[in-house]
């Protein structure tokens, strides 16, 4: 979820959408400064993979926020618990052997105790063949003479969001983290550990199993903790297992959480009175910055081997239409009320890998 640096003079949003009067724009201006991430970051470069998902999900924001008497659609954000929307993520499967980024040696990257392999590719949701997502892959090939008996990947993530080119990361962060489908938490604008917390909790129920190792993001203050990312088979890699990730806010409908938060904060206006506002559109860009560390975990304590940075950029394009709601009484006169319907029109993603870096 990229690391965006902004000045304190930059505002959250000032989007002009033609409406009959200033009281009913689809977007609102805020005097709050943009969020300032405190962690210094790199700017990834290299090969990338991209994909497009055609979508047609819709939120009736009037229903969502009490402006309409119409029945609530079954799939709207109003009947999904706060912080749990990303739990709707469907399972996904890899299609083919990942493509190594330009610059990585043929046959992988030699490191202490073996070889690191990286690549990009496409995930396809077996329940929805149209849901194809760019993905990145990381795996380790242990050398036969290695003193390291086992390695794990530890992933950290930072998510930034723009709306029509204006940073709204800080605004989204005011309502706390969002829980992902694997149990980890996305904290907007800040680094957090991204691992399979749900799997770890299940494992902890078996008291015979040893506790999994944890590491902190190097240089983080206060320390940012992460457990090992669950390994899965890498397609076409001869049975090797490693880390595969294909985050997506569109296909999982987690975008509704973003729209809801921005509407609650009056960054997006969802009600109008008087004449019907014209239809409009807006674009939201979610940049997920990943940092994946490879550690030798056996023998303990964990020893860092190196890390890979990935930047996953998802561009979500929306349409706004309006439907009439209940009339609003103002000054003894009855005015027509209008509620907004927001539809996700398209979802395009790219993933870029930076150069591999050894641990200092």
pLDDT tens digits, one per residue of 167-193: 999 999 999 999 988 899 999 999 999
Whether residue 203 is predicted with pLDDT greater than 80 in this model: the reply is yes
Domain span at residue 181 reads 48-358
Q: End-to-end CA distance of the chain, in Å?
A: 26
Does residue 216 form part of some domain?
A: yes
Whether residue 287 is predicted with pLDDT greater than 80 in this model: the reply is yes
Whether residue 103 is predicted with pLDDT greater than 50 in this model: the reply is yes
Cβ count near 334 (within 10 Å): 11
Nearest alpha-carbon partner for 178 in 283, 56, 94, 169: 169
Does residue 260 form part of some domain?
A: yes
Domain tally, the chain: 1
Q: Determine contact, residues 58/254, Cβ cutoff 8 Å.
A: no
Whether residue 71 is predicted with pLDDT greater than 60 in this model: the reply is no
Does residue 9 form part of some domain?
A: no
> How far is the C-alpha of 73 from the C-alpha of 268, rounded, in Å?
20
> How far is the C-alpha of 209 from the C-alpha of 231, rounded, in Å?
17
Does residue 250 form part of some domain?
A: yes
> How far is the C-alpha of 172 from the C-alpha of 161, rounded, in Å?
8
Task: With cut-offs at 50, 70 and 90, classify the pLDDT of residue 132.
Answer: confident
Does residue 23 form part of some domain?
A: no
Would you state the pLDDT for residue 93?
55
Q: β-pairing, 225-226 with 215-216?
A: antiparallel
Which helix (DSSP H) or strand (DSSP E) does residue 228 occupy? none
Does residue 351 form part of some domain?
A: yes
Does residue 92 form part of some domain?
A: yes
Task: Label residues 65-87 b or e (16+ Cβ within 10 Å = b).
Answer: bebbeeeeeeebbbebeeeebbb
Nearest alpha-carbon partner for 156 in 55, 290, 327: 290
Whether residue 224 is predicted with pLDDT greater than 80 in this model: the reply is yes
Q: Taking residues 64-83, report their average pLDDT.
A: 32
Whether residue 24 is predicted with pLDDT greater than 70 in this model: the reply is no
Does residue 38 form part of some domain?
A: no
Q: What is the pTM of this model?
A: 0.75
Cβ count near 211 (within 10 Å): 9
């Amino acid at each position: 979820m990229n690391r965006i640096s902004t000045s304190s003079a930059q505002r959250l949003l000032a989007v002009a959408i033609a409406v009959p009067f200033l009281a009913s724009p689809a977007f609102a201006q805020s005097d709050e400064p943009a969020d300032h991430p405190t962690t210094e970051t790199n700017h990834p470069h290299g090969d990338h993979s991209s994909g497009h998902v055609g979508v047609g999900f819709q939120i009736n924001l009037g229903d969502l926020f009490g402006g309409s008497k119409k029945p609530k659609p079954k799939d709207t954000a109003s009947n999904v618990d706060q912080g749990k929307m990303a739990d709707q993520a469907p399972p996904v499967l890899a299609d083919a052997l990942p493509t190594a980024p330009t610059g990585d040696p043929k046959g992988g990257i030699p490191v202490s105790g073996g070889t690191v392999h990286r690549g990009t590719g496409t995930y396809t949701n077996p329940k929805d063949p149209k849901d194809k997502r760019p993905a990145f892959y990381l795996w380790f090939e242990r050398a036969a003479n290695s003193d390291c008996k086992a390695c794990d990947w530890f992933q950290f993530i930072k998510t930034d969001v723009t709306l029509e080119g204006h940073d709204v990361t800080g605004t989204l962060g005011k309502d706390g983290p969002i829980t992902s489908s694997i149990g980890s938490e996305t904290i907007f604008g800040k680094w957090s550990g991204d691992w399979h917390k749900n799997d770890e909790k299940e494992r902890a129920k078996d008291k015979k199993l040893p506790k999994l190792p944890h590491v902190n993001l190097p240089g983080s203050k206060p320390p940012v903790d992460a457990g090992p990312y669950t390994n899965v088979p890498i397609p076409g890699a001869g049975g090797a297992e490693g880390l595969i990730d294909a985050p997506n806010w569109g296909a999982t409908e987690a975008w509704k959480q973003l729209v809801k938060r921005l509407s609650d904060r009056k960054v997006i206006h969802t009600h109008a009175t008087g004449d019907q506002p014209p239809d409009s559109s807006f674009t939201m860009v979610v940049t997920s910055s990943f940092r994946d560390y490879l550690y030798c975990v056996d023998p303990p304590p964990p020893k860092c081997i190196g890390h890979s940075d990935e930047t996953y950029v998802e561009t979500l394009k929306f349409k706004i239409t309006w439907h009439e709601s209940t009339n609003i009484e103002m000054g003894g006169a009855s005015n027509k009320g209008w509620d907004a319907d927001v539809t996700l029109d398209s979802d395009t993603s790219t993933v870029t890998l930076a150069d591999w870096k050894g641990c200092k």
